[in-house]
């Protein structure tokens, strides 16, 4: 009977896992499965962001006009510069852009593409976690990645099809957004099935770098492909996404049980308590008998609403940079010259490099201080002067521009990464739930879904406001960063009060020892 059970479990293993075990001649260890999960989910979400980033790189090729944006940069000379008063060169684009995006309302149309994508994405986010709980996450994620690859590529196919119908690009972007909404709930759920609380800070802090790594890879790939035609800037990332989707299907182990990696055999500590000592417990594996927390109940968990609204404004800032930074750089005079679309896309990766460090730094600081709200709010407040200095002093030189872009990315993406990972996990296992762990998926969807609404609004507003003034865009971003921090004020005060009480308590407990 036992052998039959093991045989059935083995049959449920992904084909790739079975092939690896046959070649190896033995079962894969629990730690090997964990490594596979981290690597494959990292690649999956990085590829999601790589396809998401391509639109921002291609914008300046679709709409290459250079209005007077009221900012004069004075950086170093590069071979990819053109004179500010001379003709501008864009790889893969003939006749100055691509209709209908090269008209007077081009920036507004591009902004509408962004908001269409992100609106469907944020709407789909609320349902993806619900569907993922009811279907095999490996299949669910595979379908999402293949769909993302297909519809990202179809956007690029418009180049060879000589397509100039705005609604074609709009519909393709919306469907791509729907498929992309499967990504975050799926990868968080899978990682949560394999890693316990005690490793949350380190694992999620490093693992969350997939967002910035994907943005960087997408920027570099799309920028490099522009010279061959802007369609390739979509098709190649789309093909990569589809390929990673196939890898997911072949090797991703969704849960330890699905591949027969018994936790007991691999010294994985099961969720229980022995005396006063707390032990590791899975993030998302619900105890038997727990009832899933409802949508409205999850909103009432202390801290969910403040962090959700904080992320709304934090992602508004982050996604405005995600979608518009390369466009902004290529449309801004630098020492009387302009960067090409390719060079601007490459330079913009420094924002995401800063984001990698910011995410890890925010997670580390919040772990050491045991103060998520203080850390997130502090980063958002520091983002305000960073945005101001980048807008005001980026013109000094290319080196200064790059340095300020890196610093801005660090402070903008730090709290974004912290809230979507460690904070969501903390709130999903809040003490008010009395041990019920079946709130994490819902809390994650609420926080990131609410944040994604802000992510849709920011690029949309930028599409309209930037046509008149980039200074107004940066003022909007600074106001959003301030608002994000203010939403955490009550939680910050509570954490500071707790720290003061803890400090007094520690001093009080030490006083008798000095008197003895």
How many other CB atoms sit within 10 Å of the CB of residue 505? Answer: 10
With CA atoms as reference, report the closest residue to 188 among 282, 267, 273, 318. 282
Asked if 331 and 479 sit in the same domain, the reply is yes
> pLDDT of the chain along its 516 residues, tens only?
444 443 344 447 888 988 988 998 888 888 899 899 999 999 999 999 999 889 888 888 888 764 433 333 333 333 444 444 444 443 334 447 888 988 888 878 888 888 889 889 888 887 776 676 667 889 999 999 999 999 999 999 999 999 999 999 999 999 999 999 888 878 877 887 787 655 555 577 778 888 888 988 998 899 899 889 999 999 999 999 999 999 999 999 988 888 877 654 444 333 333 333 333 433 333 333 445 555 677 777 777 889 989 999 999 999 899 888 888 888 776 666 777 777 888 888 899 889 889 988 888 888 788 888 899 999 999 999 999 999 988 777 788 889 999 999 999 998 888 887 767 666 655 455 444 444 556 677 778 888 888 988 888 888 888 878 889 999 999 999 999 999 999 989 988 998 888 888 777 666 555 544
Q: Judge whether 121 lies within some domain.
A: yes
Burial grade of 335 (CB within 10 A; 0-12, 13-18, 19 or more): middle
Question: Tokens for 432?
Answer: 């008010």
3 state SS of 26: coil
Query: DSSP for 363-415?
Result: HHHHHHHT-HHHHHHHHHHHHHHHHHHHHHHTTS-HHHHHHHHHHHHHHHHHH
CA distance 262 to 484: 43
C-alpha angle with apex 324: 211 to 445, nearest 5 degrees? 40
Question: Tokens for 441?
Answer: 């998926």
- CA quadruple 433, 434, 435, 440: dihedral, nearest 10: 0
Domains identified in the chain, total number: 2
For 48-90, list the strands marked E by DSSP.
Answer: 72-73, 81-83
Give me the domain span that covers residue 337. Answer: 287-505
Would you state the pLDDT for residue 262? 63
C-alpha angle with apex 455: 125 to 223, nearest 5 degrees? 105
**CATH number assigned to the domain comprising residue 333:** 1.20.1250.20
Q: Judge whether 249 lies within some domain.
A: yes
Q: Judge whether 252 lies within some domain.
A: yes
Give every CB contact of residue 22 below 8 A, 6+ residues apart in sequence.
none
Sign for the pseudo-dihedral over CA of 203, 146, 221, 462: negative
**Mind spelling out the 3-state secondary structure of 449-479?**
HHHHHHHHHHHHHHHHHCCCCHHHHHHHHHH
Asked if 346 and 450 sit in the same domain, the reply is yes
Can you give the length of the chain in residues?
516
Which of 212, 228, 262 represents a domain boundary (last residue)? Answer: 262
Asked if 44 and 184 sit in the same domain, the reply is yes
Asked if 170 and 211 sit in the same domain, the reply is yes
- Over its C-alpha atoms, the chain yields an Rg (Å, rounded) of 24
Asked if 48 and 164 sit in the same domain, the reply is yes
Tokens 């008209």 -> residue: 103
3 state SS of 338: strand
Asked if 38 and 152 sit in the same domain, the reply is yes
With CA atoms as reference, report the closest residue to 486 among 312, 310, 302. 310
Question: Tokens for 7?
Answer: 């045989």
Q: Judge whether 33 lies within some domain.
A: yes
Q: Judge whether 216 lies within some domain.
A: yes
Which of 227, 262, 297 represents a domain boundary (last residue)? Answer: 262
CA distance 252 to 43: 11
Asked if 395 and 436 sit in the same domain, the reply is yes
Would you state the pLDDT for residue 251? 93
Would you state the pLDDT for residue 185? 77
Asked if 240 and 293 sit in the same domain, the reply is no
Sign for the pseudo-dihedral over CA of 295, 297, 299, 304: negative
Would you state the pLDDT for residue 334? 67
Q: Judge whether 281 lies within some domain.
A: no
CA distance 358 to 344: 22
3 state SS of 290: coil
Report the Cα–Cα distance between both ends of the chain, in Å, rounded: 66
Asked if 192 and 331 sit in the same domain, the reply is no
Asked if 389 and 295 sit in the same domain, the reply is yes
Which of 219, 245, 262 represents a domain boundary (last residue)? Answer: 262
CA distance 27 to 510: 53
Tokens 């994405």 -> residue: 121
| CB-CB contact of 195 with 203 (8 Å) | yes
With CA atoms as reference, report the closest residue to 129 among 417, 445, 431, 468. 445
Question: Tokens for 295?
Answer: 């949508």
Asked if 396 and 467 sit in the same domain, the reply is yes
CA distance 18 to 39: 18
Asked if 217 and 339 sit in the same domain, the reply is no
Q: Judge whether 402 lies within some domain.
A: yes
Name the phi and psi angles at 334, rounded to 5. -125, 105
Would you state the pLDDT for residue 394? 79
Dmax over CA atoms of the chain, in Å, equals 88
CA distance 339 to 216: 18
How many other CB atoms sit within 10 Å of the CB of residue 482? Answer: 14
| CB-CB contact of 373 with 490 (8 Å) | no
Q: Judge whether 470 lies within some domain.
A: yes
How many other CB atoms sit within 10 Å of the CB of residue 492? Answer: 20
């Amino acid at each position: 009977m036992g052998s039959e059970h093991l045989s059935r479990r083995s049959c449920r293993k992904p084909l790739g896992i079975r092939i690896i075990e046959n070649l190896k001649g033995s079962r894969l260890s629990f730690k090997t499965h964990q490594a596979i999960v981290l690597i494959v989910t990292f690649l999956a979400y990085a590829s999601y962001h790589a396809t998401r980033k391509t639109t921002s790189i291609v914008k300046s090729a679709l709409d290459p006009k250079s209005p007077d944006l009221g900012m004069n940069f004075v950086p170093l000379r590069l071979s990819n510069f053109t004179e500010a008063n001379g003709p501008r060169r864009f790889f893969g684009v003939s006749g100055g852009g691509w209709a209908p995006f090269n008209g007077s309302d081009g920036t507004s149309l591009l902004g509408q593409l962004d908001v269409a994508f992100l609106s469907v994405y944020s709407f789909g986010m609320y349902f993806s976690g619900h569907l993922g709980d009811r279907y095999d996450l490996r299949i669910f994620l595979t379908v999402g990645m293949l769909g993302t690859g297909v519809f990202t590529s179809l956007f690029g196919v418009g180049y060879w099809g000589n397509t100039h119908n705005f609604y074609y690009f709009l519909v393709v972007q919306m469907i791509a957004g729907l498929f992309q909404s499967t990504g975050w709930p799926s990868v968080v759920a899978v990682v949560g099935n394999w890693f316990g609380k005690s490793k949350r800070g380190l694992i999620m802090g490093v693992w969350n770098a997939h967002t910035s790594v994907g943005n960087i890879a997408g920027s570099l790939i799309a920028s490099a492909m522009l010279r061959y035609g802007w369609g390739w800037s979509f098709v190649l990332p789309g093909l990569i996404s589809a390929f990673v989707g196939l890898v997911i299907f072949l090797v991703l182990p969704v849960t330890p049980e699905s591949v027969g990696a018994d936790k007991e055999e691999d010294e994985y500590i099961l969720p229980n308590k022995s005396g006063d000592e707390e032990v590791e417990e899975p993030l998302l594996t619900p105890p038997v008998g727990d009832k899933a927390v409802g949508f409205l109940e999850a909103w009432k968990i202390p801290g969910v609403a403040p962090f959700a609204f904080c992320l709304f404004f934090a992602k508004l800032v982050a996604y405005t940079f995600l979608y518009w930074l390369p466009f902004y750089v290529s449309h801004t005079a630098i020492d009387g010259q302009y960067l090409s679309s390719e060079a601007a896309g490459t330079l913009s990766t420094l924002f995401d490099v800063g984001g990698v460090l910011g995410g890890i730094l925010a997670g580390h600081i919040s772990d050491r201080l045991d103060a998520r709200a203080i850390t997130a709010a502090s980063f958002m407040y520091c983002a305000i002067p960073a945005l101001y200095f980048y807008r005001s002093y980026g013109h000094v030189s290319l080196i200064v521009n790059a340095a300020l872009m890196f610093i801005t990315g660090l402070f903008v993406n730090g709290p974004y990464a912290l809230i979507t990972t460690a904070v969501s996990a903390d709130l999903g296992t809040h003490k008010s739930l009395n041990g019920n762990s079946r709130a994490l998926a819902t809390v994650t969807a609420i926080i990131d879904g609410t944040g994604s609404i802000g992510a849709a609004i920011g690029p949309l507003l930028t599409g309209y406001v930037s046509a008149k003034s980039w200074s107004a865009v940066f003022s909007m971003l600074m106001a959003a960063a301030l608002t994000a921090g203010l939403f955490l004020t009550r939680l910050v005060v509570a954490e500071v009060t707790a720290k003061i009480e803890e400090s007094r308590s520690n001093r009080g407990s030490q006083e008798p020892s000095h008197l003895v």
